[in-house]
Every structure is written in C-alpha cells, then in structure tokens.
Amino acid sequence: MTTQVYRSLKRLPKKHLLEPGTPMCAGCGALEMLKTFYDVLGSNTVFVNAAGCMSLLSVYPFTPFHSSWLYTAMASASAGAQGIRDALDVLIKKERLSVKDDLHVVVLTGDGSATGMGLSATSAAMDRGLDVYTVCYDNEGYGNTGQQTSASTPYGARTATDEPGVRQEKKDLFNIWAAHHPPYLATIVASDPLDIARKVEEAKVITGPKMFIALTPCPTGWHYPPERSVELGRLAVRTGIFPLKVWRDGRVVHTRIPKPRLPVDEYLAPQGRFRHLFEPVRNGAVLTKIQARVDSYWGRVTA
C-alpha cells in the first residue's frame, strides 16, 4: 500500500502542487500537511476556510491552488460547506454538472475554530451526514493572532495569555468527534506524508463526514527554529504525545505504535513554550504529570 501511494504522488502533474512563494511562516507544519492533502485530492477541490492562519494563503483574487476557495468567519465553515455541497448535488441531479467533474469539499479550520467557535457547526454537519472532508490543523493555539491559549493548548505550555503555563488539559477533539460516529476519523502529522496520503485515499471512497486532526508544529508559536518542524512532528509521534490513529465503525486502529517510546522530555525540551519547565530548574511535578498521562494512554492501548 505504501508503495502504491508513493507512486500515485509521483505521477501527479505539477499543476496540483502548491506554488512557491506562499506567504506563510517558514517551517509551517500546517502548510506542509495541506500540500500533501491537496496532492492526493487534486485540483477538483474546493476549500472552505475558517478564519485562521491558512487564511493568509488566499489574497483575493488569488490562491496558491488550482482549485476554488471560500473564506468564512471562524464559526461558520461547516455551514458554508453545506451550501457548496448542496449546490453541487443539485447541479449533478439536474445534469448540469457531470459526476466526474464533481468537487471534493474540504473544510479547513484551525484548532481555535474546531475546538471552540466552530464546534457546534461541525457537530451539526456530522449529525446531518454532510459529505465533506473536515481538516483541523492543530497548532495548539490561536496562531494567527499571537499564539493565545486555545482549548487545544497542551498542559504546561506557555502562551501569550498564559505566561506561567496552561493548567488545563488539552480538549480531546478526537473523542468528541468520534462520539458523533462519523464514517471516517483520523489523526495525521505533516512529518509522515505517506500516512497522510494513505488515509486520504481511504477516505476518498467513503460518503459522509470524513474528519482529520493534524498536529501542525508552529515555529513562531512554539518557539523553535523552522528547520526543526519535521523533527518535532516525528518526536510527537515517537514520544506517544500525538498518536496516529483511525476511527471507523466504532473501532480505533493505531497506524503507528512507538516502540520504543521516547520520554516526553525529548519532544518538549526543544520548544521555547516549554522552556520554563526545564530552566532555571526542572519542574519535575509538571513533567511527571505529562509523562504519566502519555504512559496511561499507551498502557490502555497495548494492554
């Protein structure tokens, strides 16, 4: 399967790829994830973009995609996607649009929208069985406005609005979405493009809500050098902090099980947002709590 996915990516014409010069931060994990996602879906795609970092991709009337783009308010991307999907279905029914020219409808939202302002609209879209892809690029904060705390910010991280470090646990968006019983739900990370491609290919043959949560390292918000983005994505998986998995038919399958699992310090220490846990003295209580939560999760998985 991996070989087939790799070959399919190599065969894609260059017109499907993001153009150079996209006005995004160097090392943006969300941009790299989106590039792979788009490479697999191709140009017959319309993106419905909730206000956030990815809004910088589209400066009217241009986008870096050879496809369509609708920019919406932060809470209403799923509602916009409903209108587009309904319009496409009407055109197909009236034979004004052929099935082969149908578009993939992709809701693109940051974690601030996905876990907060847009959560109810996304919930309603899943309840209605809306046939779209929903992709949450999770940089664990309101990245477009200075990395303020969101419901997705991890315990212990320092943000622009929580200088001592966040003291609530990260909202479990995966299980919230899974509670709606969508036909497909997966986690992805830009540092594993073949895993992304494989999951998007699986989702392409499914009708209904296809949900993706992407961990997207953010150099400007997490405070690390841009060239370390891929390394941090891999460390998030290898330490077990970010499990790669798929939910289908009420069953969770992990697509990567870290063996051996690295200590969480190796992922946390390179990031400036966690530096206060290591300097000037090590905060053993917080680090132990983070490690214990990860150990508990994988203990349940491998038991």
Segments of the chain scoring below 50 in pLDDT: 1-22
Supply the range of the domain harboring residue 162. Answer: 2-302
Give the pLDDT confidence score for residue 5 in this predicted structure. 45
User: How confident is the model at residue 265, as a pLDDT?
Assistant: 98
CB atoms within 10 A of CB 285: 8
Q: How many domains does the chain have?
A: 1
Strand arrangement, sheet containing 244-248: 68-72, 45-50, 104-110, 133-138, 210-215, 184-189, 244-248, 251-256
User: How do residues 222-268 score in pLDDT, each as one tens digit?
Assistant: 999 999 999 999 999 999 999 999 999 999 999 999 999 999 999 99
Predicted local confidence at residue 23, as pLDDT = 64
pLDDT at residue 7, as a whole number: 47
Instruction: Tell me the pTM.
Output: 0.91
CATH number for the domain spanning 113: value is 3.40.50.970
Q: Which residues does 21 contact at the CB level (< 8 Å), separation at least 6?
A: 64
Predicted confidence at residue 65, as pLDDT, reads: 80
Question: Is residue 155 within 8 Å of residue 290, measured between CB atoms?
Answer: yes
pLDDT tens, 50-79? 999 998 887 777 777 888 899 999 999 999
Distance separating alpha carbons of residues 194 and 149, to the nearest angstrom: 31
